[in-house]
Amino acid sequence: MQIEGKNQVLEAIKNETTINKILIDKNFASRKDDVINLAHKNQLKIEFLPKKILDEKSITGHHQGYIAETVDFEYSSVQDILANPKNENAFIVLLDGIEDPHNLGAIIRTCECAGVDGIIIPKMRACQVNETVVRTSVGAISNMKIARVTNLKTAIDELKENGLWIYACELGGKEIYSQNLTGPVAVVVGSEGNGIKQSLRAYCDDVITLPLKGSVNSLNASVSAGIVIYEILRQRESKNK
Protein backbone atom coordinates (compact mmCIF):
# COMPACT_ATOMS: atom_id res chain seq x y z
CA MET A 1 0.00 0.00 0.00
CA GLN A 2 1.09 3.59 -0.61
CA ILE A 3 0.66 6.58 1.66
CA GLU A 4 0.69 9.83 -0.27
CA GLY A 5 0.94 13.46 0.80
CA LYS A 6 3.30 15.27 3.18
CA ASN A 7 1.13 15.21 6.32
CA GLN A 8 0.06 11.62 5.73
CA VAL A 9 3.63 10.39 5.31
CA LEU A 10 4.79 12.41 8.31
CA GLU A 11 2.08 10.89 10.53
CA ALA A 12 2.92 7.41 9.28
CA ILE A 13 6.57 7.88 10.31
CA LYS A 14 5.61 9.32 13.70
CA ASN A 15 3.34 6.37 14.41
CA GLU A 16 5.95 3.83 13.40
CA THR A 17 4.08 2.46 10.42
CA THR A 18 6.19 -0.17 8.68
CA ILE A 19 7.63 1.76 5.73
CA ASN A 20 9.75 0.04 3.12
CA LYS A 21 10.81 3.19 1.30
CA ILE A 22 9.89 6.87 0.97
CA LEU A 23 9.88 8.44 -2.48
CA ILE A 24 10.42 12.21 -2.44
CA ASP A 25 10.55 14.84 -5.15
CA LYS A 26 14.25 15.38 -5.87
CA ASN A 27 13.69 19.16 -5.78
CA PHE A 28 13.10 18.82 -2.03
CA ALA A 29 16.45 17.16 -1.33
CA SER A 30 18.27 20.35 -0.35
CA ARG A 31 15.50 22.01 1.67
CA LYS A 32 14.83 21.81 5.38
CA ASP A 33 12.05 19.27 5.47
CA ASP A 34 10.21 17.59 8.38
CA VAL A 35 9.65 14.37 6.43
CA ILE A 36 13.28 14.06 5.35
CA ASN A 37 14.60 14.87 8.81
CA LEU A 38 12.30 12.41 10.56
CA ALA A 39 12.97 9.72 7.97
CA HIS A 40 16.72 10.07 8.53
CA LYS A 41 16.22 10.00 12.30
CA ASN A 42 14.27 6.74 11.97
CA GLN A 43 16.80 5.32 9.49
CA LEU A 44 14.23 4.94 6.74
CA LYS A 45 15.26 4.52 3.13
CA ILE A 46 14.66 7.61 0.98
CA GLU A 47 14.73 7.75 -2.80
CA PHE A 48 14.70 11.15 -4.49
CA LEU A 49 12.95 11.06 -7.86
CA PRO A 50 11.76 13.51 -10.52
CA LYS A 51 8.20 14.73 -9.99
CA LYS A 52 7.20 13.09 -13.28
CA ILE A 53 8.08 9.66 -11.85
CA LEU A 54 6.12 10.36 -8.68
CA ASP A 55 3.14 11.41 -10.82
CA GLU A 56 3.31 8.07 -12.62
CA LYS A 57 3.54 6.11 -9.36
CA SER A 58 0.80 8.06 -7.58
CA ILE A 59 -2.53 6.33 -7.05
CA THR A 60 -4.45 9.25 -5.60
CA GLY A 61 -3.00 11.96 -7.85
CA HIS A 62 -2.27 14.11 -4.78
CA HIS A 63 1.16 13.02 -3.60
CA GLN A 64 2.55 16.56 -3.01
CA GLY A 65 6.02 15.15 -3.68
CA TYR A 66 5.88 12.43 -0.99
CA ILE A 67 4.99 8.74 -1.36
CA ALA A 68 5.67 6.14 1.32
CA GLU A 69 5.65 2.50 0.26
CA THR A 70 4.31 0.52 3.21
CA VAL A 71 3.01 -2.91 4.09
CA ASP A 72 -0.75 -3.36 3.83
CA PHE A 73 -2.80 -1.71 6.56
CA GLU A 74 -2.81 -3.80 9.72
CA TYR A 75 -6.31 -4.22 11.10
CA SER A 76 -6.98 -4.66 14.81
CA SER A 77 -9.40 -7.06 16.47
CA VAL A 78 -12.49 -6.05 18.41
CA GLN A 79 -10.69 -7.14 21.57
CA ASP A 80 -7.73 -4.90 20.67
CA ILE A 81 -10.13 -1.96 20.63
CA LEU A 82 -11.83 -2.96 23.87
CA ALA A 83 -8.52 -3.58 25.63
CA ASN A 84 -7.27 -0.05 25.18
CA PRO A 85 -10.03 2.51 25.77
CA LYS A 86 -8.82 6.03 26.44
CA ASN A 87 -10.98 6.11 29.57
CA GLU A 88 -13.36 3.82 31.45
CA ASN A 89 -16.23 4.71 29.11
CA ALA A 90 -15.52 2.97 25.82
CA PHE A 91 -16.58 4.83 22.68
CA ILE A 92 -16.72 2.77 19.47
CA VAL A 93 -18.13 3.42 15.98
CA LEU A 94 -19.46 0.67 13.71
CA LEU A 95 -19.94 1.31 9.99
CA ASP A 96 -22.55 -0.70 8.12
CA GLY A 97 -21.59 -0.82 4.47
CA ILE A 98 -19.83 2.52 3.91
CA GLU A 99 -18.67 2.21 0.30
CA ASP A 100 -17.21 5.63 -0.53
CA PRO A 101 -13.51 5.80 0.47
CA HIS A 102 -13.79 9.55 0.96
CA ASN A 103 -16.59 9.05 3.49
CA LEU A 104 -14.62 6.33 5.26
CA GLY A 105 -11.51 8.50 5.42
CA ALA A 106 -13.50 11.47 6.70
CA ILE A 107 -15.15 9.35 9.40
CA ILE A 108 -11.77 7.99 10.50
CA ARG A 109 -10.45 11.55 10.77
CA THR A 110 -13.45 12.65 12.84
CA CYS A 111 -13.18 9.61 15.11
CA GLU A 112 -9.50 10.25 15.77
CA CYS A 113 -10.11 13.92 16.53
CA ALA A 114 -12.95 13.07 18.94
CA GLY A 115 -11.00 10.40 20.82
CA VAL A 116 -13.03 7.41 19.64
CA ASP A 117 -11.43 4.15 20.82
CA GLY A 118 -11.89 2.28 17.55
CA ILE A 119 -13.91 1.64 14.41
CA ILE A 120 -15.46 -1.64 13.28
CA ILE A 121 -16.19 -2.29 9.59
CA PRO A 122 -17.48 -5.37 7.73
CA LYS A 123 -15.24 -7.36 5.40
CA MET A 124 -17.87 -7.67 2.67
CA ARG A 125 -19.82 -5.07 0.68
CA ALA A 126 -17.99 -2.14 2.22
CA CYS A 127 -14.94 -0.01 1.52
CA GLN A 128 -11.70 -1.29 3.01
CA VAL A 129 -8.67 0.79 3.93
CA ASN A 130 -6.93 1.87 0.73
CA GLU A 131 -4.77 4.74 -0.50
CA THR A 132 -7.74 7.10 -0.93
CA VAL A 133 -8.97 6.37 2.59
CA VAL A 134 -5.50 7.00 3.99
CA ARG A 135 -5.20 10.31 2.17
CA THR A 136 -8.69 11.51 3.11
CA SER A 137 -8.01 10.73 6.77
CA VAL A 138 -5.06 13.18 6.60
CA GLY A 139 -2.86 10.91 8.68
CA ALA A 140 -5.49 10.16 11.34
CA ILE A 141 -5.61 6.51 10.33
CA SER A 142 -2.17 6.00 11.84
CA ASN A 143 -3.68 6.71 15.27
CA MET A 144 -6.94 4.78 14.90
CA LYS A 145 -7.64 1.12 15.60
CA ILE A 146 -9.87 -0.40 12.92
CA ALA A 147 -11.30 -3.90 13.20
CA ARG A 148 -12.59 -5.72 10.13
CA VAL A 149 -15.19 -8.38 10.94
CA THR A 150 -17.18 -10.99 9.06
CA ASN A 151 -20.42 -10.25 10.90
CA LEU A 152 -21.37 -6.97 12.58
CA LYS A 153 -23.98 -8.74 14.73
CA THR A 154 -21.27 -10.91 16.24
CA ALA A 155 -19.21 -7.80 16.93
CA ILE A 156 -22.20 -6.16 18.59
CA ASP A 157 -22.64 -9.23 20.81
CA GLU A 158 -19.03 -8.86 21.86
CA LEU A 159 -19.52 -5.17 22.66
CA LYS A 160 -22.69 -5.86 24.65
CA GLU A 161 -20.86 -8.51 26.68
CA ASN A 162 -18.36 -5.80 27.60
CA GLY A 163 -21.05 -3.43 28.85
CA LEU A 164 -21.55 -1.14 25.87
CA TRP A 165 -24.97 0.19 24.89
CA ILE A 166 -25.47 0.02 21.11
CA TYR A 167 -27.22 2.86 19.27
CA ALA A 168 -28.29 2.75 15.64
CA CYS A 169 -28.16 6.19 14.00
CA GLU A 170 -31.25 6.23 11.81
CA LEU A 171 -34.50 8.04 11.09
CA GLY A 172 -37.48 7.15 13.24
CA GLY A 173 -35.68 6.94 16.57
CA LYS A 174 -35.36 9.15 19.63
CA GLU A 175 -33.90 12.60 19.04
CA ILE A 176 -30.21 12.40 19.87
CA TYR A 177 -30.18 15.53 22.02
CA SER A 178 -32.65 13.97 24.47
CA GLN A 179 -30.49 10.91 25.13
CA ASN A 180 -27.83 10.37 27.77
CA LEU A 181 -24.79 9.20 25.82
CA THR A 182 -22.16 9.56 28.54
CA GLY A 183 -21.71 5.87 29.35
CA PRO A 184 -19.90 3.13 27.38
CA VAL A 185 -21.47 3.35 23.92
CA ALA A 186 -21.13 2.16 20.37
CA VAL A 187 -22.91 3.89 17.51
CA VAL A 188 -23.78 2.28 14.19
CA VAL A 189 -23.70 4.47 11.08
CA GLY A 190 -25.29 3.14 7.90
CA SER A 191 -24.33 3.25 4.25
CA GLU A 192 -24.67 6.26 2.00
CA GLY A 193 -27.69 4.99 0.09
CA ASN A 194 -29.52 2.46 2.24
CA GLY A 195 -28.66 3.36 5.81
CA ILE A 196 -28.44 0.58 8.39
CA LYS A 197 -29.81 -2.82 7.38
CA GLN A 198 -33.13 -3.46 9.11
CA SER A 199 -31.91 -6.72 10.63
CA LEU A 200 -28.92 -4.92 12.18
CA ARG A 201 -31.00 -1.98 13.36
CA ALA A 202 -33.30 -4.36 15.23
CA TYR A 203 -30.23 -5.90 16.86
CA CYS A 204 -29.20 -2.59 18.45
CA ASP A 205 -30.36 -1.51 21.91
CA ASP A 206 -31.89 1.76 20.73
CA VAL A 207 -32.18 4.14 17.78
CA ILE A 208 -31.10 7.78 17.83
CA THR A 209 -32.06 10.32 15.19
CA LEU A 210 -30.75 13.69 14.10
CA PRO A 211 -33.49 16.31 13.67
CA LEU A 212 -33.96 17.32 10.02
CA LYS A 213 -35.67 20.66 9.45
CA GLY A 214 -35.36 20.94 5.68
CA SER A 215 -37.02 19.16 2.78
CA VAL A 216 -34.15 16.67 2.28
CA ASN A 217 -34.53 13.66 4.58
CA SER A 218 -30.93 12.52 4.85
CA LEU A 219 -27.36 13.69 5.45
CA ASN A 220 -24.08 12.49 3.99
CA ALA A 221 -22.82 9.52 6.01
CA SER A 222 -19.63 11.23 7.15
CA VAL A 223 -21.55 14.38 8.12
CA SER A 224 -24.08 12.34 10.14
CA ALA A 225 -21.29 10.43 11.83
CA GLY A 226 -19.49 13.65 12.70
CA ILE A 227 -22.54 15.24 14.31
CA VAL A 228 -23.32 12.12 16.35
CA ILE A 229 -19.71 11.61 17.44
CA TYR A 230 -19.33 15.19 18.59
CA GLU A 231 -22.66 15.20 20.42
CA ILE A 232 -21.38 12.22 22.42
CA LEU A 233 -18.10 14.04 23.04
CA ARG A 234 -19.98 17.21 24.07
CA GLN A 235 -22.06 15.30 26.60
CA ARG A 236 -19.01 13.61 28.06
CA GLU A 237 -17.07 16.84 28.33
CA SER A 238 -20.04 18.56 30.01
CA LYS A 239 -20.40 15.74 32.51
CA ASN A 240 -16.73 15.99 33.50
CA LYS A 241 -16.81 19.74 34.17
Which residues belong to CATH 3.30.1330.30 in the chain? 2-70
Q: Can you tell me the distance from the alpha carbon of 120 to that of 155, in angstroms, rounded to the nearest whole number? A: 8
CATH of region 78-240:
3.40.1280.10
The superfamily in CATH containing domain 2-70 is Ribosomal protein L30/S12 (3.30.1330.30)
Tens-digit pLDDT string for the chain (241 aa)? 888 999 889 988 988 888 899 999 999 998 889 999 999 999 999 999 999 999 999 988 889 999 999 878 889 999 999 986 655 789 999 999 899 999 999 999 999 999 999 999 999 889 999 888 988 888 788 889 999 999 999 999 999 999 999 999 988 889 999 999 999 999 999 987 788 999 999 999 999 999 888 877 778 899 999 999 999 999 999 887 7
Instruction: Give the Å distances, CA to CA, from 165 to 15, 26, 120, 197.
Output: 31, 52, 15, 18
Rounded to 10 degrees, what is the CA torsion of 43, 44, 46, 52?
Answer: -160
pTM above 0.85, yes or no: no
Which residues belong to CATH 3.40.1280.10 in the chain? 78-240
Q: Is the dihedral of CA 41, 44, 47, 53 positive or negative?
A: negative
Burial of residue 217 (CB within 10 Å: 0-12, 13-18, 19+) is exposed
